[in-house]
């Protein structure tokens, strides 16, 4: 009985060990990303950076150097750069973003939000970017931030 328990424990431990993630979707199967839609009045005044990059998460920071208050929601997309074009990485099947407004970024202020990278399938290491929508009233503006990630 003790031998069976030791073997069971060893097999359970071995199964819990994580191996490097294999890509779950070939990069060539990804759809090319749409062109970024910007609002010219904000183009040089609003920026986003990605920091604290981990295996399953990161943090994005939006800097608002404009005179407008920006509305922001939870939704974002992940894209990977391949063969001189950006490709959209789809979220996993059972993942959904909350459908509510996350908050505001006031003039001359910044706001940060978490990025759940585990919501996306493994593609592999490479140059990625986050794409996020902001609004001034009903006028949309997209911003992007590039980062290296192991995917």
Does the residue 41 lie in any domain?
Answer: yes
pLDDT of residue 120: 92
* Per-residue confidence (pLDDT) for residue 49, from 0 to 100: 97
Q: Please report, for the domain that includes residue 74, its CATH number.
A: 2.60.40
Structural domain includes residue 24: no
- Give per-10-residue mean pLDDT for the chain (151 aa): 37 40 73 89 92 95 96 91 94 78 90 92 93 90 94 72
Q: Is position 142 within any domain? A: yes
> Are residues 79 and 88 in contact, defined by beta-carbon separation less than 8 angstroms?
yes
64: in domain: yes
Note the pLDDT of residue 5: 33
Report the domain count for the chain: 1
Query: From CA 146, how far away is CA 7, in angstroms rounded?
Result: 46
Helix count (H) and strand count (E) of the chain? 1, 8
Which CA distances in Å does 21 have to 31, 65, 77, 120, 122?
22, 39, 21, 12, 7
Q: Is residue 109 part of a domain?
A: yes
Query: Does 6 reside within a domain?
Result: no
Query: How buried is residue 101: exposed, middle or buried, by Cβ count under 10 Å (0-12/13-18/19+)?
Result: exposed
**What range defines the domain where residue 136 resides?**
29-91+100-149
Q: Is residue 128 part of a domain?
A: yes
Half-sphere exposure of 147 toward its Cβ, with a 13 Å CA cutoff? 23
Does 9 reside within a domain?
A: no
pLDDT on residue 73 = 85
* Region class of 3: left (phi > 0), else alpha (psi between -120 and 50), else beta: alpha
């Amino acid at each position: 009985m003790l031998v069976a328990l030791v073997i069971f424990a060893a097999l359970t431990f071995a199964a819990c060990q994580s191996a490097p993630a294999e890509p779950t979707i070939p990069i060539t199967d990804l759809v090319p990303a749409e062109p970024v839609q910007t609002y010219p009045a904000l183009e040089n005044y609003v920026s986003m950076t990605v920091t604290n990059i981990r295996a399953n998460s990161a943090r994005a920071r939006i800097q608002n150097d404009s005179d407008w208050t920006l509305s922001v929601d939870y939704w974002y997309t992940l894209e990977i750069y391949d063969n001189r074009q950006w490709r959209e990485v789809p979220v996993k099947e059972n993942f959904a973003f909350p459908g509510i407004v996350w908050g505001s970024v006031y003039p001359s202020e910044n706001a940060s939000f978490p990025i759940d990278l585990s919501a996306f399938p493994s593609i592999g290491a490479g140059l990625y970017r986050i794409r996020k929508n902001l609004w001034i009233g009903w006028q949309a503006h997209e911003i992007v931030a590039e980062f290296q990630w192991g995917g």
